[in-house]
Structure 1
Amino acid sequence: MTTTIGELATRLFGADAPFRLEAYDGSSGGGADAPVVFRLLNERGLRYLITAPGELGLARAYVQGDLEVPGLDMGDPTALLDALPQQIQVQRPALSELPNLLRDLGIRSLVPPPLPTVEAVPGWRRALEGLRHSRRRDAQAIHHHYDVSNSFYELVLGPSMAYTCACYPREDASLEEAQAHKFDLVCKKLGLRPGMRLLDVGAGWGGMVRHAVQHYGVTALGVTLSREQATYAQQWIKNDRLDDRAEVRHLDYRDVAEGDFDAISSIGLTEHIGVKNYPDYFAFLHAKLRPGGRLLNHSITRPDTQHDGVPRGGFINRYVFPDGELTGVGTIVSRMQDQGFEVRHVEDLREHYVRTCRAWARNLSASWDDAVEEAGLATAKVWGLYLAGSSLGFRRNVVQLHQVLGEKLAPDGSGDYPLRPDFGV
């Protein structure tokens, strides 16, 4: 063909692109002196790049093994992603160029290859399974991400099996210390005392439930949409002989029948609720509390309230969190207030999530062969990109992490909150 793949890469990404593309036809293009080199191995990879130029096409070709990066630590590709801009700019060819490009590349180049099996289908196809954040579709989204394999999560998360932002009490604290400190901070913010009843929505593998029961003497109920998580958590609870006071159910939080809880923890669930559903979500939790009871909402947030949701068709939406949505902490605060909560305390743990994601990425890198054997090479590659990219996102203030503490007041406006916070702040 007249146009080489390298020349096409230069047309799409520019001669000053942050990477150089070396193609299977022997040509190269993009940034000639760029520090990052991509090696395109075959025609399928080319079709991925042409039909989805930018982040998604590169990810597809990489996950499928059609694109290689020499010397890359696939478990922890932080150095690679740090050398690239947050968004790779694409310079689409002018209409006048298309006939020549089609002649050189062939019409087949415009036919998208099958999606990688680890990629979620587009939102319009997911809509065939129900409205976004319907019970059925929420369960499918949770299954896509959280039911990879408990053994895989053990390799990445470590002994705590805590898959939410840790809170580092010291510069030299380990991940396990930081996760225990996070759970302890949540317990203190909730004012837990022996004999209280705790509801933990989005309970994961039961870390918060177990910590609260073991260290604060409460009775705790956790719920999760992941059957694998619930099974794992219940076995852990039984092994620790806590099953007389602790339980994690495979259940949608909206189906919790019990009420009059003293406290509710929501750690890493709000991202899956949908911003439009916040009023119903916080109203439901408010109704489950006794007067004077507290809610601690711990969730990833945006640095502003102008851009709700997530970019449709982006890597995170298609490979990591289908239907996930984020907004600024101001929206969370206002929705909690609108449903009757008095917001008592707000804290940003953004820098702590930088450290947490880096620790998870290092765990994945150190256990790479076992992770690939357990979940497959494509899934392991996705997780490497996801954890490294997330760490950079928190470091660059693309995303944040907020804990928001609210209290349900009695009808006369009274509550149980002390004159000053009693959790060491």
Structure 2
Amino acid sequence: MGVANAVGSFLGRAPGVRITAFDGSSGGNADAPVTVEIRSPRALNYIATAAGSLGLARAYISGDLEVQGDLYTAMTSLTDLDFDMSWPARFRALRELGGLKLLRPPPIPPMEVKLRGRRHSKARDQAAIAHHYDVSNKFYEWILGPSMAYTCAVYPTATSTLEEAQWAKHDLVARKLGLEPGMRLLDVGCGWGGMVIHAAQHYGVRAVGVTLSRRQAEWGQKAIADAGLTELAEIRHLDYRDVREEQFDAISSIGLTEHIGRAQLPGYFGSLYSRLRPGGRLLNHCITRPNNLEPAIRERQFINRYIFPDGELHGVGHLVSQMHDVGFEVRHEENLREHYAMTLNAWSANLDEHWDEAVAEVGQARARTWRLYLVGCQIGFERNNIQLHQVLGVKLHADQSSGMPLRPTWGA
């Protein structure tokens, strides 16, 4: 049967994908737009010893599996397939590929991480953030573009540029929070400072951002100085739980909740609530699951092993309930998942444009990990496997008044 056809038994028959293998065999449509190359026997070990997409990811990151053609097309075709083979079919394929020796675990690619210590302790959270963010500011500049915004953009039109969409996102958050000159804003998980800079520059707000990434804080502080905003804005290398000030007029949390953990959500929202003055607003912007039925943690998946260790996604209904339970009144909510698919597509294009520089900067394995991650997440948002929600809450005054406008003032 040959290696290519045996691997096809594992992967299924994707009409748009051709498979070739190191033994000279091939399978599938010869005219397919995408070819998956099985370059070495080790690729077979990866596929056989890790269920579903994790084995394929390990083989791709290590370079033992290659995709010729558009990776998005290949992943779209492969994710249409059912990886759940019957055991008789699995044994037949294993026997054809070399038998039980394939079940000997191969070396795990060095990009895979398993953290130590108590989950979501400050030390372990610091390690998780450092794994993903303390890579190379230059690498992120190539992917994210001038905005250095590493969260879902908001596209005013289908033809808007990434920079226009990131500006629109920051401005939407500012308008939802009702920012005005002289207000105090806390931005938790501030990244490279995009929201802090936008609020200070365009709304005259005194803004403080906090991040667990030292490299982000250093880059953001320089950007603030370069923009002449040091009197209004600052970024601290600090855990949000260690912010000492209180009585902020507004808090933005853009892409932090995914790192918090289900058990920590009451403390997280309670901490933000306690730092707001009455009438102050919280805008929580984060990736969510499409329902509350699936587990928040999936440790055996590629995304947890390689991209966001300890990441936990929740259904938006659970997040809204948690906000309510600590005292927030939720006033507005919207799903922006299509916008995130468009954002990821733009980041993928940026990475491809700077591919050679990216490989030289961070290495082949990390660059391939990121290529896989960006394309896979784009497909996830397109297919409603994951969503992006903005939830706006307010801390009521003692008389239960909200200070909110009768109708939203931030546009459609």
Q: TM-score, normalised by structure 2?
A: 0.93
- Identify which of 70, 85, 95 aligns with 1:91: 85
CA contact (8 A) 1:36 1:83 kept: no
The alpha-carbon deviation at position 114 of structure 1 amounts to 1.4
Aligned ranges for residues 283-302 of structure 1 at < 5 Å? 283-302=270-289
What stretches of structure 2 of length at least 5 have no aligned partner? none
The 3 A distance-change label for structure 1 pair 92 and 51 is: farther
State the match for 1:407 in structure 2: 394
The 3 A distance-change label for structure 1 pair 311 and 407 is: same
1:49 matched to 2:36? The reply is: no
What is the rounded CA distance, in whole Å, between the counterparts of 1:70 and 1:253 in structure 2? 44
CA contact (8 A) 1:145 1:320 kept: yes
Look up the SS of the partner of 1:186 in the other structure.
Answer: helix
Number of positions where the alignment pairs a residue of Structure 1 with one of Structure 2:
412
The alpha-carbon deviation at position 308 of structure 1 amounts to 3.7
State the match for 2:98 in structure 1: 105
CA contact (8 A) 1:202 1:225 kept: yes
What is the rounded CA distance, in whole Å, between the counterparts of 1:109 and 1:332 in structure 2? 43
State the match for 2:138 in structure 1: 151
Identify which range, 101-110 or 334-343, moves more after superposition.
Answer: 101-110
1:270 matched to 2:253? The reply is: no
Identify which range, 197-206 or 137-146, moves more after superposition.
Answer: 137-146
Look up the SS of the partner of 1:414 in the other structure.
Answer: coil
The alpha-carbon deviation at position 379 of structure 1 amounts to 1.2
The alpha-carbon deviation at position 414 of structure 1 amounts to 2.0
CA contact (8 A) 2:11 2:81 kept: no
What is the rounded CA distance, in whole Å, between the counterparts of 2:386 and 2:91 in structure 1? 39
The 3 A distance-change label for structure 1 pair 268 and 160 is: same
State the match for 1:304 in structure 2: 291
Look up the SS of the partner of 1:69 in the other structure.
Answer: strand
CA contact (8 A) 1:224 1:250 kept: yes
What is the rounded CA distance, in whole Å, between the counterparts of 1:280 and 1:96 in structure 2? 46
CA contact (8 A) 2:4 2:38 kept: no
1:388 matched to 2:375? The reply is: yes
State the match for 1:242 in structure 2: 229
1:355 matched to 2:342? The reply is: yes
CA contact (8 A) 1:55 1:87 kept: no
What is the rounded CA distance, in whole Å, between the counterparts of 1:34 and 1:88 in structure 2? 20
The alpha-carbon deviation at position 227 of structure 1 amounts to 0.5
CA contact (8 A) 1:15 1:29 kept: no
The 3 A distance-change label for structure 1 pair 88 and 314 is: farther
The alpha-carbon deviation at position 12 of structure 1 amounts to 2.9
State the match for 1:345 in structure 2: 332
- Identify which of 122, 125, 129 aligns with 1:142: 129
State the match for 2:178 in structure 1: 191
CA contact (8 A) 1:55 1:88 kept: no
CA contact (8 A) 2:34 2:73 kept: no
Identity %: 56
The 3 A distance-change label for structure 1 pair 189 and 31 is: same
The alpha-carbon deviation at position 6 of structure 1 amounts to 3.8
What is the rounded CA distance, in whole Å, between the counterparts of 2:312 and 2:74 in structure 1? 26
The 3 A distance-change label for structure 1 pair 96 and 406 is: closer
CA contact (8 A) 1:18 1:84 kept: no
The alpha-carbon deviation at position 152 of structure 1 amounts to 0.3
1:117 matched to 2:115? The reply is: no
CA contact (8 A) 1:12 1:93 kept: no
Look up the SS of the partner of 2:79 in the other structure.
Answer: coil
The alpha-carbon deviation at position 141 of structure 1 amounts to 1.1
CA contact (8 A) 1:202 1:267 kept: yes
Q: Which amino acid aligns with 1:163?
A: Y
The 3 A distance-change label for structure 1 pair 215 and 56 is: same
Q: Which amino acid aligns with 1:56?
A: L
Q: Report Cα offsets for 1:8-29 as digits up to 9, x if no partner.
A: 3244344678744322223345
1:60 matched to 2:97? The reply is: no
1:81 matched to 2:86? The reply is: no
- Aligned residues: CA RMSD: 2.3
The alpha-carbon deviation at position 38 of structure 1 amounts to 1.8
Look up the SS of the partner of 2:68 in the other structure.
Answer: coil
CA contact (8 A) 1:18 1:35 kept: yes
State the match for 1:328 in structure 2: 315
What is the rounded CA distance, in whole Å, between the counterparts of 2:90 and 2:340 in structure 1? 47
Aligned ranges for residues 26-37 of structure 1 at < 5 Å? 26-28=24-26, 36-37=34-35
The alpha-carbon deviation at position 4 of structure 1 amounts to 4.4
Q: Report Cα offsets for 1:138-192 as digits up to 9, x if no partner.
A: 1111111111210000000000000001111223211111111111110110011
What stretches of structure 1 of length at least 5 have no aligned partner? none
The 3 A distance-change label for structure 1 pair 200 and 14 is: closer
CA contact (8 A) 2:288 2:389 kept: yes
CA contact (8 A) 2:12 2:82 kept: no
1:257 matched to 2:244? The reply is: yes
1:163 matched to 2:156? The reply is: no
Q: Which amino acid aligns with 1:58?
A: L
Q: TM-score, normalised by structure 1?
A: 0.91
